[in-house]
């Protein structure tokens, strides 16, 4: 038994950066977007590591990362990600700022998946982030599955347990810290991963070199994504910082406590 595992994942600005929306000729964008350091979306990273782990359990399985991101930024990020797991890349040259409607993003991703040479839907497992650091609507992956005709979908997945009969036991998150355990007979299916159970793999420079031999041609073949943004914003501002300092000598502890209580109640 082998599977064709497709991971959908885009880029996200490094979480330590301050983001400021602006209006560009093509619609909403981020200020100095191409200058911002980028990482593979954290949710998609978990999906990629879990997909690579699953592929190792079933010899002959293949992992393909489908990413809609600016081509230049994607090349930079792949230099690091390629050292984490073995995969092939399908690149879509498009925005990753989060302003693209999830339906448009799903359409572009689904079309690229359908165009993968030798795709066998009976062996297809589509993975991705349950949520996203840029497209946090939690709907993109679901619509990708629907466009591919896959109705067996599981969201908030923390663990995937292959069974001897070829089925899978899937542990999903529920509210209140509870878990739901489902059983799926097998592929095709869609898995929206939460944090999973695996740590981040160590860097393997030799694996990275092997991956980059396929990644660089894939980046050169990246086609522009025909996506539009239907989102508009009116204003945005960072939270204001306010600090008022008053130096008082010989103030009673009870008086200090009273002022603190009054300040908290404001």
| Residue 101 backbone dihedrals phi, psi, to 5 degrees | -60, 140
Antiparallel, parallel or unpaired: β 168-173 and 179-184:
antiparallel
DSSP 62-73: EEEEEEEE-HHH
95 or 55: which carries more pLDDT confidence?
55
Q: Are 46 and 39 in contact (CB under 8 A)?
A: no
Q: pLDDT tens across 176-232, in order?
A: 888 999 999 988 999 999 988 888 899 999 999 999 999 999 999 998 887 766 666
pLDDT over 80 at 171, yes or no: yes
Predicted pLDDT of residue 230: 63
Cis status, amide bond into 164, omega within 30 of 0: no
pTM for this predicted structure: 0.81
CATH topology of domain 4-224: Rossmann fold (3.40.50)
pLDDT-derived band at 6, boundaries 50, 70, 90: very high
CA distance linking residue 192 with residue 158, whole number of Å: 9
Predicted pLDDT of residue 233: 65
Predicted pLDDT of residue 170: 95
Strand ranges, E, within the chain? 4-8, 11-13, 21-24, 27-30, 38-40, 62-69, 88-93, 124-129, 153-162, 168-173, 179-184, 189-193, 223-224
Predicted pLDDT of residue 237: 64
Mean pLDDT of 161-170: 94
Predicted pLDDT of residue 12: 84
Predicted pLDDT of residue 245: 77
Predicted pLDDT of residue 241: 66
Q: Which residue in 126, 133, 172 sits closest to 150, CA to CA?
A: 126
163 or 230: which carries more pLDDT confidence?
163
Q: Which residue in 3, 39, 10, 41 sits closest to 195, CA to CA?
A: 41
Predicted pLDDT of residue 239: 65
| Residue 145 backbone dihedrals phi, psi, to 5 degrees | -60, -40
Q: pLDDT tens across 104-155, in order?
A: 888 999 999 999 999 999 999 999 988 887 766 678 899 999 999 999 999 9
DSSP 178-191: -EEEEEE-SSSEEE
Q: pLDDT tens across 48-67, in order?
A: 999 999 999 999 999 999 99
Predicted pLDDT of residue 115: 93
The DSSP letter of residue 258 is H
Domain ranges of the chain: 4-224
């Amino acid at each position: 038994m082998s599977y064709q595992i497709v991971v959908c994942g885009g880029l996200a600005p490094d979480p330590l950066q301050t983001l400021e929306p602006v209006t560009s000729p093509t619609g909403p964008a981020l200020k100095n977007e191409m200058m911002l350091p980028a990482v593979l979306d954290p949710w998609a990273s978990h999906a990629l590591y879990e997909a690579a782990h699953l592929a190792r359990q079933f010899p002959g399985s293949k992992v393909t990362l489908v990413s809609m991101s600016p081509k230049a930024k994607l090349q930079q990020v792949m230099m690091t990600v390629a050292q984490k797991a073995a995969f092939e890349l399908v690149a879509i040259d498009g925005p990753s700022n989060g302003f693209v409607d999830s339906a448009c993003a799903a359409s572009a991703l689904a079309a690229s998946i359908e165009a993968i040479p030798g795709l066998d839907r009976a062996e297809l497992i589509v993975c991705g982030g349950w949520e996203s650091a840029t497209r946090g609507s939690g709907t993109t992956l679901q619509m990708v599955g629907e466009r591919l005709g896959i109705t067996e979908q599981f969201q908030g997945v923390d663990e995937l347990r292959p069974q001897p009969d070829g089925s899978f036991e899937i542990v999903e998150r529920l509210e209140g810290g509870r878990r739901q355990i489902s059983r799926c007979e097998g592929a095709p299916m869609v898995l929206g991963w939460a944090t999973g159970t695996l740590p981040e793999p160590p860097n393997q420079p030799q694996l990275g070199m092997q991956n980059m031999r396929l990644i660089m041609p894939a980046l050169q073949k990246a086609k522009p994504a025909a996506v539009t943004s239907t989102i508009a914003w009116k204003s945005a501002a960072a939270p204001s910082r306010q600090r008022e300092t008053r130096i008082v000598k010989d103030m009673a502890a009870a008086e200090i406590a009273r002022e603190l209580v009054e300040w908290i109640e404001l």
